[in-house]
A and B are shown apart, each in its own frame.
Chain A
């Protein structure tokens, strides 16, 4: 029973990090040179609007007070307004949430579908030609820029073969699915380069394990030993690695959303940077950071549930 106590206890450990994230975002935006009120509202703001924002964010008060105002607004779900879109940042982000979430989950699924067979082939042919081939492919994959890979896939599958749309997101579920195939594959290919190496290593370790040896001593054939004992034990560290790499995965979606013109949070972020829409930059950055902290937290819980060995 005490295993699950940490589910209650861990969120408390998250608090300092979450505070840290808010401090860093606050410091970043306040370090832009110039009048903060103008920075937040843009150059064409009316004096009245400027006064209102100074009031709301306490911009005439000392810096630490400003931070408290900032926190207070955060807790009220108030992250300011976008200069460009003239709407609340929160609402803007929620509109853009779906494509990004689909992209992240889709890429993870495709990545696992690529990684598991590749790592299996490599581990079961250890030192052989196929193992070397997988090693070279994954080392090469590690160095593939996602933006270029995406364009290559577009040239091949959209321009030449006309199988998938070049860009965009679509309206219906099927359309969306159709649009997301290439972006997901793009991220998944890069991601599986990292995962394959790690999974191969844990597969090899598990194949040598006492438990695998004992399973063989019971007369189970190698492929049963592999499927039922080696693979499940190896997947846990790989899922953890996936969680550790969530930041990297999010970075990937930011770039890939630009390549495929997907109206997600990444594209929102890039456009906001170009238009100096700082409230949006701040909101998106903070949300991405909080999301990756939460994913790591969920991964910890998942490890506890999946791996009964973990001692807390």
Chain B
């Protein structure tokens, strides 16, 4: 296989709190090929957002640090680049869009000006050229009447339009990779579908690679080529979408699928995973999922299970994986 566009290896994020140092992202590894859409799936607190922030070296607080981990772009290590060189990666190689475009857009700057600012900063050029590019971008993301709308402020847009504007903003520097952090969670279903279609079109048209962060397996099933499931800051399972959805190995993946009304078998009761995700200061020993797991064996609480390959590109970290045939029913909660 050719060199992946992005290869993340052993990425770790630590937080310092009053109770000590905790790993909220613990040795996360995954790969992304050109034109691939990878779904990064997990419950809130699973470290999926933090892993992507760490990938851009944009941690929201000074208490957080990245003690180790490697990020290779086109086979070149970028994690040890000095800040001013790394900055050229942000926006230009890897763009990012967020769950809440209302707060991630500058409220007192016109949409067009924000996009033009990014264009000019990364590509230089005249003000006129940047304006033309801005209008072109707004058109690409499906904003009607782009010339007029580029003069609007973010609050004058609807939620869906704001997310489109945010995507246009991320595309302004023509990145190879787009990190989409739950971009559709705050939108209603029809708008959500439009945004997903737009992302797919962008992939097809420009060969954009996308890391799609979500807790919604339904969205993943529609959109992604491969899936990486995170739990408690660690990767549980990673593989191509079809294989992973058809035959999940990790009980957590299976449990997540059980929670999905559309994917679980019809007629059955909706299953939930008992218990709650662990908090950073109280991570279970061994496999972090074991207190909630229906497949628990003695080994699980003692040692962290290593990632094992079931197919060349399908890995899972479990001592007692779910069988080939069907997902093992998860415990029903009271």
Q: How many A-B residue pairs have CB under 8 A?
A: 80
The answer to whether A211 touches B106, judged by C-beta atoms less than 8 angstroms apart, is: yes
**A106 and B90 alpha carbons, distance in the complex (Å):** 43
The answer to whether B108 touches A210, judged by C-beta atoms less than 8 angstroms apart, is: no
**A221 and B118 alpha carbons, distance in the complex (Å):** 11
The verdict on A218 contacting B95 (CB below 8 Å), with A209-B103, A308-B156 known, is yes
Shortest Cβ gap from A206 to chain B (Å): 10
The answer to whether B169 touches A210, judged by C-beta atoms less than 8 angstroms apart, is: no
Q: Which of A110-118, A134-142, A224-232 contacts B (4 or more CB under 8 A)?
A: A224-232
**A214 and B167 alpha carbons, distance in the complex (Å):** 12
Cβ contacts under 8 Å, B263 to chain A: none
The answer to whether B91 touches A218, judged by C-beta atoms less than 8 angstroms apart, is: yes
B16 beta carbon closer than 8 Å to chain A = no
Cβ contacts under 8 Å, B105 to chain A: 211, 214
Q: Which of B81-89, B139-147, B231-239 contacts A (4 or more CB under 8 A)?
A: B81-89
Shortest Cβ gap from A267 to chain B (Å): 40
Cβ contacts under 8 Å, B169 to chain A: 214, 218
Q: Of all chain B residues, which has the CB nearest A221?
A: B87
The answer to whether A216 touches B90, judged by C-beta atoms less than 8 angstroms apart, is: yes
A44 beta carbon closer than 8 Å to chain B = no
Among A210, A217, A308, which residue has its beta carbon within 8 angstroms of that of B91?
A217
Shortest Cβ gap from A303 to chain B (Å): 11
Cβ contacts under 8 Å, B91 to chain A: 217-220
* B 54-67 to A, binary, CB cutoff 8 A, 1 in contact else 0: 00101010000000
Mark out the residues of chain A between 226 and 279 whose CB falls within 8 Å of any chain B CB in the assembled complex: 228-229, 232-233, 236
* A 204-216 to B, binary, CB cutoff 8 A, 1 in contact else 0: 0000111101111
Among A210, A219, A220, which residue has its beta carbon within 8 angstroms of that of B104?
A210
* B 116-136 to A, binary, CB cutoff 8 A, 1 in contact else 0: 011001100000000000000
Cβ contacts under 8 Å, A221 to chain B: 84, 87
A162 beta carbon closer than 8 Å to chain B = no
The answer to whether B108 touches A306, judged by C-beta atoms less than 8 angstroms apart, is: yes
The answer to whether B58 touches A218, judged by C-beta atoms less than 8 angstroms apart, is: no
Q: Of all chain B residues, which has the CB nearest A206?
A: B106
B155 beta carbon closer than 8 Å to chain A = yes
Shortest Cβ gap from B99 to chain A (Å): 9
The answer to whether A232 touches B109, judged by C-beta atoms less than 8 angstroms apart, is: yes
Query: Number of contact residues on A: which range applies?
Result: 20 to 34
The answer to whether A219 touches B90, judged by C-beta atoms less than 8 angstroms apart, is: yes
* Main SS class of interface, A: helix
The answer to whether B106 touches A219, judged by C-beta atoms less than 8 angstroms apart, is: no
**A213 and B96 alpha carbons, distance in the complex (Å):** 10
Cβ contacts under 8 Å, A78 to chain B: none
Shortest Cβ gap from B134 to chain A (Å): 14
A309 beta carbon closer than 8 Å to chain B = yes
Cβ contacts under 8 Å, A211 to chain B: 103-107
B203 beta carbon closer than 8 Å to chain A = no
B8 beta carbon closer than 8 Å to chain A = no
The answer to whether B155 touches A309, judged by C-beta atoms less than 8 angstroms apart, is: yes
Q: Which of A218, A220, A229, A233: most chain B Cβ within 10 A?
A: A218
Cβ contacts under 8 Å, A214 to chain B: 96, 98, 104-105, 166, 169
Q: Of all chain B residues, which has the CB nearest A127?
A: B62
B318 beta carbon closer than 8 Å to chain A = no
Q: Of all chain B residues, which has the CB nearest A310?
A: B155
**A307 and B154 alpha carbons, distance in the complex (Å):** 11
The answer to whether B104 touches A309, judged by C-beta atoms less than 8 angstroms apart, is: no
B29 beta carbon closer than 8 Å to chain A = no
Among B58, B84, B92, B173, which residue has its beta carbon within 8 angstroms of that of A213?
B58
**A216 and B122 alpha carbons, distance in the complex (Å):** 13
Shortest Cβ gap from A33 to chain B (Å): 55
B30 beta carbon closer than 8 Å to chain A = no
The verdict on A218 contacting B118 (CB below 8 Å), with A213-B58, A309-B155 known, is yes
Q: Of all chain A residues, which has the CB nearest B59?
A: A213
**A219 and B88 alpha carbons, distance in the complex (Å):** 6
Shortest Cβ gap from A204 to chain B (Å): 12
8 further interface pairs, Cβ-Cβ under 8 Å (given A214-B98, A218-B121, A232-B109):
A210-B103, A213-B60, A216-B90, A218-B169, A220-B91, A220-B118, A306-B108, A308-B108
Q: List B residues at the A interface (Cβ < 8 Å).
A: 56, 58, 60, 84, 87-92, 95-96, 98, 100, 103-109, 117-118, 121-122, 153-156, 166, 169-170, 172-173
Q: List 26 A-B contacts (CB under 8 A).
A: A208-B60, A209-B103, A211-B104, A211-B105, A211-B106, A217-B95, A217-B96, A218-B90, A218-B121, A218-B169, A218-B170, A218-B173, A219-B90, A219-B91, A219-B118, A220-B118, A221-B84, A221-B87, A224-B121, A228-B117, A232-B106, A232-B109, A307-B107, A308-B153, A308-B154, A308-B155
Which 10 interchain pairs have the tightest Cβ spacing? A219-B91, A219-B90, A218-B91, A214-B104, A210-B103, A308-B153, A217-B96, A210-B104, A211-B106, A309-B107
Q: List A residues at the B interface (Cβ < 8 Å).
A: 208-211, 213-221, 224, 228-229, 232-233, 236, 306-309
